[in-house]
Amino acid sequence: MKHIAVVIPDFPIPSETFVVTEIKALVKMGHKVTVFCFNRELHWIDLPNRVAVIELNSHVLHEVSRLFRFNPVNLIKSFVCAYKLQDISTKSLLFYGMKLAVLAKKHGCEHFHCHFLHSAMAYALVAAKLANVTVSGVGHGHDVDVNSQDLKYKLQMCSFSIAVCQDMNNTFKLLGAKHHYLLHSGVDISHFSLNGPPEHNNEKNKRLRLLFVGRLVAKKGVKYALEALAKIDAVHRPYLDIVGKGPEYSKISEQIKQLNLEESVCLLGHHTPNWIAQAAGQYDAFIAPLYTPDNGESNNGHLALKEAMAMGLPVITCETSGSKEVVSYDVGFIVKPKDTNELKEAIESLYYLKPSIRDKMGLLARKRVEKMFDSITQTKKLSNLIEQIHS
């Protein structure tokens, strides 16, 4: 099994659990994995003991002196690749590309696998030419929809590319990707148990309890969930717990006050995946009112939706790129983005369903994730692609 170098801009990022999930699955399959990042964050993370994390910025220049042991033909290829990439300076591409190639060779890596197709992919392409190894890349959203300069060249130069939804896969095809595949981000099923319905023992608890989990950025659409809740009379208005932090935190906090939702909505801040998995049994459903903002950045992987479904929660979400690939109508509701009336109606529809029907929706949601989005199954497909490709 090939030794895989996972290349990522920053690691670990709490909201990017898909990277760690994939690494763990690759290790289970017998791959050795080394993570290369440009900035190592101080968040605690549970990684297999054999996985090394190397911060490129922490290695000094003398490592690059070993560059000239590489094949001269590969040197020329790496220079040409760096010259054709326009979004990052040629000097930076050569410096970090050479450093990455030297360190990858030193650790015995045989394939570069990049999450996100912007800077990390550019450096990995230069390094791959120099080290004469294969390279793959995974698109996620901003790197395809917004920061997309050089994307066409990158897709044509990498050994293969992964799209996390069909819309993205279609974009890759239009851009002339050399080899491109649809591969949904996987969920570690073993991490999430199927939670039973919450108990409603008194009058107060007869109100639904909704959960939102995600980074608080515009495209997550929390503001529209709040507006929809404000349209529901206070007696039947569900409780909503918002788990996450981000640049929209202050705006959301202020909006809760303006809409007089303090008794119904609670900002819980950041919590670990373990906490979320254990707390899921307190909720009746998961809400993700996603939309595509004016900058064009879409929601593609829908990992939070998959994790909620794995915990047996019915879901309410919006029609965005890839959402219908994840959520079927027997496990939740899909409404128009930014349509607070439709969102309100979906919440009320969930409220009026018999508890047994909500329970069945949650069970079907879990089964859908087991069938279509299990991390082991998805990563096995990735492993096969990596094993079959040749430099």
Of 299, 343, 301, 87, the residue nearest 210 (C-alpha): 343
Q: Tokens representing 342?
A: 């439709």
CA gap 184, 166 in Å, rounded: 9
Beta sheet of 160-163, edge-to-edge order:
52-55, 33-40, 4-11, 111-115, 134-138, 160-163, 180-182
pLDDT (tens digit per residue) in 298-331:
777 789 999 999 999 999 999 988 899 999 999 9
Same domain, 29 and 107: yes
Same domain, 228 and 353: yes
Same domain, 77 and 222: no
Same domain, 109 and 149: yes
CB within 8 Å of 352: residues ≥ 6 apart: none
CB within 8 Å of 166: residues ≥ 6 apart: 182, 322, 325
Question: Quick one: pLDDT at residue 62?
Answer: 57
CA gap 149, 133 in Å, rounded: 24
Same domain, 381 and 368: no
CA gap 82, 21 in Å, rounded: 31
Question: Quick one: pLDDT at residue 296?
Answer: 67
pLDDT (tens digit per residue) in 121-134:
999 999 999 999 99
Same domain, 213 and 299: yes
What is the SS3 assignment for 115? strand
What domain count does the chain have? 2
Q: What is the CATH number of the domain that holds 214?
A: 3.40.50.2000
CA gap 127, 118 in Å, rounded: 15
CA gap 168, 46 in Å, rounded: 30
The continuous run of DSSP H or E covering 4 comes out as strand 4-11
- Asked whether 120 and 114 are in contact (CB, 8 A), the reply is yes
Same domain, 165 and 43: yes
Same domain, 106 and 201: no
Same domain, 164 and 199: no
Same domain, 364 and 380: no
Of 267, 245, 270, the residue nearest 257 (C-alpha): 267
Give the distance between the most distant pair of CA atoms in the chain: 76
Of 4, 126, 20, the residue nearest 75 (C-alpha): 126
CA gap 135, 391 in Å, rounded: 9
CB atoms near residue 174 (< 10 Å): 10
Same domain, 293 and 358: yes
CA gap 108, 117 in Å, rounded: 24
Of 322, 332, 333, the residue nearest 298 (C-alpha): 322
Same domain, 182 and 196: no
What is the SS3 assignment for 317? strand
Domain, as residue range, for 68: 4-186+374-388
pLDDT tens digits in sequence order for the chain, 391 residues long? 999 999 999 998 887 889 999 999 999 999 999 999 999 988 778 888 889 999 998 765 555 555 556 788 988 999 999 999 998 999 999 999 999 999 999 999 999 999 999 899 999 999 999 999 999 999 988 888 777 789 999 999 999 999 999 999 999 999 999 899 999 999 999 988 876 656 554 444 578 999 999 999 999 999 999 999 999 999 999 999 999 999 999 999 999 999 999 999 999 998 888 888 889 889 999 999 999 887 767 777 789 999 999 999 999 999 988 899 999 999 999 999 999 999 999 999 999 999 999 999 999 999 999 999 999 999 999 999 999 987 6
Vertex 109: Cα angle to 103 and 110 (nearest 5): 135
Q: Chain centroid to CA 7: how far?
A: 15
